[in-house]
Amino acid sequence: MKNEMIYEGKAKRLYTTDNAGVLLLEFKDSLTAFNAQKRGSFAGKGSINRDVAAHIFKELKKKGIESHFLREVGEREMEVRRVRIIPLEVVVRNVLAGSTAKKMGRDEGEPLPRPLVEFYYKDDALADPFLSDDQAIVLGIATAEQIAILKQKALEINQVLQGLFQAVGIQLIDFKVEFGTPSESEGDIVLADEITPDCCRLWDAKSGERLDKDRFRRDLGRVEESYSEVLKRLTNSSGHRFVPGGR
């Protein structure tokens, strides 16, 4: 049973249920970029993202990576374990792209010699600033042990995701994940939030066309088709076919 809404973010809502340890995560149709300064939406986005996230959570579980995911509900919701979110966004970069490439004066698409793990403080009012490991520890945002675990888990997830996307002709450029600790066990850190085209950069392996939220950020068009294409490839389901080169 969906009860009280306890959180609403840019792309999701979170509700309590009759089970104190289980929450209902609802995916919205909204699109945002640049800390919500740019807004949009398309019908069915919530359903697509829910299906992508559920599929990825299941694939990660097969590889021994635990998450908060329990099961799909309805068209755009999933039941998840209640966790206490560690207020760090963990970003893994395999290829330079976006603001990182610009900041370093490097070309987008430059492969990195090894995956780069970065931390950003989860605070919308501060625009989610970058944090070094030491800053996160000294400021009490995470312990040294948690930082080490987050890095290890993020790299393990990256390895699985690279194989998963490569198998369907998609290059995983970078992605953002969040983690939490179940309320009954402070030390058991699990993957939380979502993994979807909203929080990954995904490029077609042959054409280099973007299949992610950069199409919305950069006004490239065909946002719905790109999201649908990611789901179609991952699940072999029908969808709006993405044809490279058009708008």
Give 239's pLDDT tier (boundaries 50, 70, 90): very low
Q: For residue 82, what pLDDT is reported? A: 95
Distance of alpha carbon 101 from alpha carbon 105, whole angstroms: 6
Structural domains of the chain ordered from first start: 5-83 (3.30.200.20), 84-222 (3.30.470.20)
Is the CB of residue 190 less than 8 Å from the CB of residue 81? yes
Give 240's pLDDT tier (boundaries 50, 70, 90): very low
Give 92-119 pLDDT, tens digit per residue. 999 999 999 999 999 999 999 999 999 9
Nearest by Cα to 68 from 154, 187, 191: 191
SS3 assignment, position 35: coil
> 121: phi > 0 → left, psi -120 to 50 → alpha, else beta; which?
beta
- pLDDT beyond 80 at 155: yes
- Give me the percent of the chain exceeding a pLDDT of 70: 94
Place of tokens 């829910």: 50
Nearest by Cα to 161 from 73, 47, 62, 239: 62
- pLDDT beyond 50 at 180: yes
Is the CB of residue 54 less than 8 Å from the CB of residue 146? no
Single-letter residue type at 49: N
How many Cα atoms are found within 13 Å in the side-chain-facing hemisphere of 153?
24
Give 183-200 pLDDT, tens digit per residue. 665 568 999 999 999 999
Give 36's pLDDT tier (boundaries 50, 70, 90): confident
Q: For residue 246, what pLDDT is reported? A: 53
What sign does the dihedral 138-157-217-54 (CA atoms) show?
Answer: negative
Per-position b or e across 164-196, b if 16+ CB within 10 A of its CB:
bbeeeebbbbbbbbbbbbbeeeeeebbbbbbbb
Is the CB of residue 86 less than 8 Å from the CB of residue 142? yes
